[in-house]
Amino acid sequence: MKSKLTIFLFSLCFPGFAGAQQTKINLSTATGRLCFEVTYKGEPTISSSPLGMNIDNIDLGKSVEIKSVEQTDAEYKTYTIEKKDGDIYHLDIREFDNGIALRYRIPSTGSRCVYGEETSFTFPAGTRVWYASGPFQYGWIQAYQDRTTDKIENELLAPPATFRLPNGTYAAITEANLFNFHGAVLFGHKNNRVQLGYVDNKGHLETGIITGIPASKYWHEEVRNSPWIVSPRNGSKEIITPWRILMLSENLDGLVNNRIIAQVSDQPERTLFPEGKDTQWIKPGRSVFTWLVEGENRLSVETHKRYVDGAAELGLESVVVDDGWELWPKTEKNANGRTKWELLKELVDYARSKNVDIWVWRPSSPRYGNKSDVGLLDADERNNFMKRCAEIGVKGLKIDFFHTENLFTVNFMENILKDAAKAHLMVIFHGVNKPTGDSYTYPNLLAKEAVRGLESVGGENNWAPGPPWPYHNTVLPFTRWLAGPADYTPLNFRQFCPPSVTFTHQLASIYTFTSPMLIFAADMEDMLACPGRMFIEEVPVTWDQTKILKESRIGELAALSRRKGDIWYLSILNGEKAVTQEIELDFLPKGNYRMTYASDDGENRKKIVINNRKIKSGKTLKIKLLSGGGYLAKFEKTDK
C-alpha cells in the first residue's frame, strides 16, 4: 500500500507527467516481491511480472519496498528499492510512447557474483512469438520458431524476440547499452512468461578458454545461468546493467522504426569521434568479398585486384580481404620473399588508384586447431596490428570468432572499438552477439554479423541448421534487424544461392537486409552481367525513411519501401507459398512516377527481368510471386 501511495502522490506533484506517454509502467510490492505491469494505449500488455537480480545468491526483488521515486524528466524515473536488511539499489525506468526501458543500478565497491536475473515479461494467453531457438553467437544456429507463448516452456529465445498479442499489438524484447556486463537471452516459462537470463558456451567453461571459437563439438552446446563475476566500471561505485527493452507498436511499421535502442544508448566519446557518426573517417559503403565465390585462387592477390577492378566499375566503395591473406608469403607464386604486409600494401596501393578502399579480416583470438595467429587479445598485438593497417592505408577491419557474449568478451569488443577508433579504422564483427546499441556509442562499428546469412548455405543439415530460406528471410526484418544492422552478406547467383529462393529474391535482399557496411557475396562476373545491375550500383546503405507495408506478414511476406532523397524503392521477399499479391502504393507522395522494376520471369527461378512503366501514387500493383520469389522497384517522380 505504501508503494502505491508514493507513486500516486508523485503523479499529483507532476500533473504534466501523468499520462504523458502511451506506454505506462505500474510497480507493486504488495506481495513483498517487486513486480511491474505495462499498459499500452490504455490496454493491459504485460501482466504482473517479477523484477530483480540474483546477486551473491540474494534475490534483490524479494522482501523489498519502494523507498522513493525521483523524476528526471518527462519519461525518466528512478525508484530506490530497499530490502529488509536496509540495503538499497536503484531501478531506472524510461517510458516512451512505443515501449519501455529499465535497468538496475546496484551500489558496490567491489566484485559481485551474478547467479541470474528475475526480470520477466508475462504476456496474455494466445500471444504469438517468433524467435531464434539458439543464441546468435554460438555458431550458426538461427532456427526461427513460430509458436504461442503457452508452448515455449524451457525454450531459449535469442533476443530480439517478436510477439503479437491477441489484440494485434506487436512487441519485441531485447537489451541495449551492453557494456561491462554479460549479454542476456530469454527463457520460456509456464503461463506465457519469458525471463531474462545468461548463457555460456560449454566449451569455454570446460576448457577455461574464455572467448573465441571452441572445438566444433561445442559449437551449439550451451550452459544456462552459470554464475559470473562483475565489478563496477571505471572506478564507479555501482554496477549498472544494460537496459532491458520492451518495444511496442500497433503494426510492423512502428516496430521496425522503433528508436528506443538509440535513445538509451550512451553517446559517442567526442575525443574519439569529434562529429559522432559523422566523424570524417567513418564512411559507410558497399563492398564485396571473395570468400564465397568460385575458383581455386579466390583468395589470391590477383583475384582481389580483379575484384577491385569490378568494384570500381560498379561504384562500390571497398573490397574485404578475408581469411587467408596472412598466408600470402607462402601461397602467392610471385611473393618473392615479400611479407604479408608488403603484399597487402601492394593491393591497397592498387585499390587506391581505383578509388576503392581495402578492409582486412583478423580473428579476435587464437582459433581451435590454428595456432599461427594469436588474435587481438593482447593489447600490444592489437595496437601494433591496427597501427600497421592504418599506416599502409587499410580503412576497416573484419574481426571474427568471438562466439560468446560473456562479460570478458563484451569488454574485449569495446577495447577493440576504442583502439580501432584511435587508429581511424572502421570495424565489423563476425561470429558475434546481437547488436545492443554499441554502434551508437562507437559509430566506427558499422555492423555485427549475428545472423544466419549466405555463408550458412549448404550447412542446413549439419553445422548451420535452420528453417527453409524463404521463411527465414521473411522473418529477419521483423526480428533480428530490430536490434541493428547485420552482415548477412547478401547476393549470390551460384552455389550460395539457396535453390528455394529466386534470383530476383537475391537481388531484392540487398534492399531488405540493409547495413552501413553492405558486403555482397556474388561472383564479380555475375554482378557485372546482372540484368538488374543498376540496382546493385545504386543501392544506398543509409536511408532517409523506411516504411513496412501493411501487406507484410512475418514468415510469409516482407514488403518494405525505403526512401533516399526523392527516390523510393520497393523491396519484396516472398515466403514459401506462391502468391499473387496486391501492393498499394500509398507510401508514395502524390504525383506521377517512372517505375523501373525487377521481377521473376514466369516460372524461371534463375532469370531476372527488368521493365519500366509509368504509374501514379495510390495505385495498386498486382504482383505474381513464386515460392521464394522476389520483386524490386525504383520510383522516380516525373512531371507527367
Residue 271 belongs to a domain? no
The CATH number of residue 478's host domain is 3.20.20.70
Q: How far apart are CA 433 and CA 134, in angstroms?
A: 11
The pLDDT score that the predictor gives to residue 19 is 45
- Residue 631, domain CATH: 2.60.40.1180
The pLDDT value recorded for residue 235 is: 82
> What are the C-alpha distances in Å from 159 to residues 134, 156, 290, 606, 618?
10, 9, 31, 34, 37
Give the pLDDT of residue 216: 83
What letter represents residue 539's amino acid? V
In the predicted structure, residue 301 carries a pLDDT above the cut 70: yes
| Residue 84, in any domain of the structure | yes
- Who wins on pLDDT, 8 or 496? 496
Give a yes or no: residue 128 inside a domain: yes
- Could you give the 3-state DSSP secondary structure of residue 329? helix
Kindly report the CA angle at 480 between 178 and 399, in degrees rounded to 5? Answer: 60
- At residue 2, the 3 state secondary structure works out as helix
Last residue of a domain, one of 479, 514, 541: 541
Look at the alpha carbons of 196, 441, 547, 40 in this order and tell me if their dihedral is positive or negative. Answer: positive
**Is 371 or 457 the better-scoring residue by pLDDT?**
457
Whether the per-residue pLDDT at 455 is higher than 90: the answer is: yes
Residue 214 confidence (pLDDT): 86
Crossing angle, helix 340-353 and helix 301-314, to 10 degrees?
20
Same domain, 410 and 451: yes
Of the given ranges (12-26, 80-94, 116-130, 178-192), which has the lowest mean pLDDT? Answer: 12-26
Cell of 542: 543509409
* Contact criterion met (CB below 8 Å) for 506 and 531: no
pLDDT at position 11, please?
45
pLDDT-based confidence at residue 18 (cuts at 50, 70, 90): very low
pLDDT of the residue at 133: 87
pLDDT category of residue 542 using cuts at 50, 70 and 90: very high
Query: Rounded to 5 degrees, what angle do the CA atoms 599, 601, 603 make?
Result: 120
Q: Is the pLDDT of residue 135 over 70?
A: no
**Residue 468 shares a structural domain with residue 590:** no
Gap between the Cα atoms of 142 and 134, Å rounded: 6
Q: Domain total for the chain?
A: 3
Residue 178 CA to residue 580 CA, distance in Å, equals 43
pLDDT at 119: 98
Q: Is the pLDDT of residue 621 over 90?
A: yes
Average pLDDT of the residues in 273-302: 96
Query: 165 and 311 share a domain?
Result: no
- 100 close to 93: Cβ distance less than 8 angstroms: yes
pLDDT one-digit tens code per residue, 586-597: 999 999 999 999
Asked whether the beta carbons of 463 and 217 are under 8 A apart, the reply is no
> What global pTM score does this model have?
0.95
Task: Check if the beta carbon of residue 226 is closer than 8 Å to that of residue 198.
Answer: yes
Q: Is the pLDDT of residue 461 over 90?
A: no
In the structure grid, which three cell numbers stand for residue 543, read together? Answer: 536511408
Mean pLDDT of 4-31: 64
Average pLDDT across the chain, whole number: 94
Give the domain CATH number at 164: 2.70.98.10
Q: Provide the pLDDT for residue 14.
A: 45
Note whether residue 534 is domain-resident: yes
> Tens digit of pLDDT for each residue in 487-497?
999 999 999 99
For residues 174 and 185, what is the distance between their CA atoms, to the nearest angstrom? 8
Residues 505-522: tens digit of each pLDDT: 999 999 999 999 999 999
- The predicted pLDDT at position 16 comes to 40
| H runs (alpha helix) in 247-339 | 252-256, 260-264, 301-314, 328-331
Cβ atoms of 337 and 377 within 8 Å: the answer is: no
**In this structure, is residue 5 part of a structural domain?**
no
16, part of any domain: no
303 by Cβ neighbours in 10 Å (0-12 / 13-18 / 19+) ranks as middle
Percent of the chain predicted with pLDDT > 90: 89
- Give residue-wise pLDDT tens across range 373-431: 889 999 999 999 999 999 999 999 999 999 999 999 999 999 999 999 999 999 999 99
Kindly write down the DSSP assignment for every residue of 572-595, as one continuous string: EEE-SS-EEEEEE-TTSPSSEEEE
Residues 6+ apart with CB under 8 A from 348: 358, 392, 393, 394
Flag whether 2 is in a domain.
no
With 90 as the cut, is the pLDDT of residue 142 above it?
no
Gap between the Cα atoms of 27 and 52, Å rounded? 12
Largest CA distance in the chain: 81
Q: Could you report the per-residue pLDDT of 318-364, keeping only the tens digit for each?
A: 999 999 999 999 999 999 999 999 999 999 999 999 999 999 999 99
The C-alpha cell of 296 is what? 581455386
pLDDT of residue 9: 41
Averaged pLDDT for residues 279-305:
96
List for the chain the helix, strand, coil content (%; round to 5). 20, 35, 40
Same domain, residue pair 80 and 124: yes
- On whether both 448 and 596 belong to a single domain, the answer is no
Structural domain for 379, as ranges:
276-541
Q: Looking at the structure, tell me whether residues 231 and 324 fall in a common domain.
A: no
The mean per-residue pLDDT over the stretch 366-375 comes to 77
- pLDDT for 136: 55
Same domain, 565 and 532: no
Q: What is the pLDDT of residue 369?
A: 62
- Do both 508 and 622 map to the same domain? no
Q: Is residue 6 part of a domain?
A: no
pLDDT at 334: 93
Same domain, 501 and 428: yes
Q: Is the pLDDT of residue 4 over 50?
A: no
Is residue 401 within 8 A of residue 365, CB to CB? The reply is: yes
**49 lies in the same domain as 197:** yes
pLDDT given for residue 74 in this prediction: 84
Of the residues 244, 264, 284, the one at which a domain ends: 264
